[in-house]
Homo-oligomer: A and B are copies of this chain.
Amino acid sequence: MAVRKFSEKRLTAEVLHRIRNTKNPRLKQVMASFIRHLHAFVREVKPSHEEWEKGIGFLIETGKWCSDRRNEFILLSDTQGVSMLVDAINYKAGAGATESTVLGPFHRLNAPEYPLGANIAKRASDGVPCLVSGTVKDAKGRPIAGARLDVWEAGADGFYDSQKGKAMNLRGVFRADARGRFHFRCVRPEYYPVPHDGPAGKLLTATGRHPMRPPHLHFWITAKGYKPLITHLFVKGGKYLDSDAVFGVKPELIVDFKKSKGGVATATYDFVLMKEKK
């Protein structure tokens, strides 16, 4: 049997040739692209054996930090701008439609459903009282009655409820009324760091970056016949708007959280959903 001479140059082609019998065409496409880009990266940086081991060690360490309550690989994806890229690829806001941004790791299923006007902040210590209101409409300005708004945010201490325990707080589900209107109470969003005591955080520090996110309030808005909208509202004038650790800021999503005389911050936003493609 003739075994071909090994060739550094030809190695990538050989690995690609080896997956030629992949049954799932999408997996074949993804893996071929992955192999080409991974090999190109290695050819470009020419890691020593020790450097490659260090890279592998970083992945092992990242794996160790993953648990039911923490996804360190998503955090890496977020902080290296990949999650935002995946979002941009998948959600193209049409003319007039509201822009999307990253989901982030802190959404929880089964958040409590509240009547309009309810307060998602259970404790006085959660932050500065805030009233958020607005509408959910389609691109032609027609209200989307009954649109479902899933909202969540961190407290003034910079933590989401799930980072502290199992109890639900600072999150809730609302339904827009017949005219597409909604309003609820919460706390004014404050800036906070993404979890940065693990490998993703160490990488931020080593590359001269901070782990901070500008103040924001999460929305996941759904309605039958419309494309789900995952987005934030950012606080105008908030810190880190120009250096969000996860690259999530879009100027169209920055809103004024004005303070009323009673010390309550108020913000309003009109969301526009896109029709679901049939």
CB <8 Å contact, B30 and A90: no
- Label chain A's interface by main secondary structure: helix
Residues of B within 8 A of A157 (CB): none
Residues of B within 8 A of A132 (CB): none
Copies in the complex: 2
Residues of B within 8 A of A166 (CB): none
Contact with B along A208-249 (1 / 0, CB 8 A): 110000000000000000000000000001000111000101
- Which of A56-64, A119-127, A181-189 touches B? A56-64
A27 is contacted by which of B19, B206, B254 (Cβ under 8 Å)? B206
A266 interface contact, C-beta 8 A: no
Chain A contacts with B in 49-80, Cβ cutoff 8 A: 49, 51-52, 56, 59-60, 62-64, 66, 71, 73-74, 77, 80
Q: Please judge, given known A-B contacts A6-B250, A60-B73, whether A22 and B206 are in contact too, CB under 8 Å.
A: yes
Once bound together, how far apart are the Cα atoms of A88 and B243, in whole Å? Answer: 40
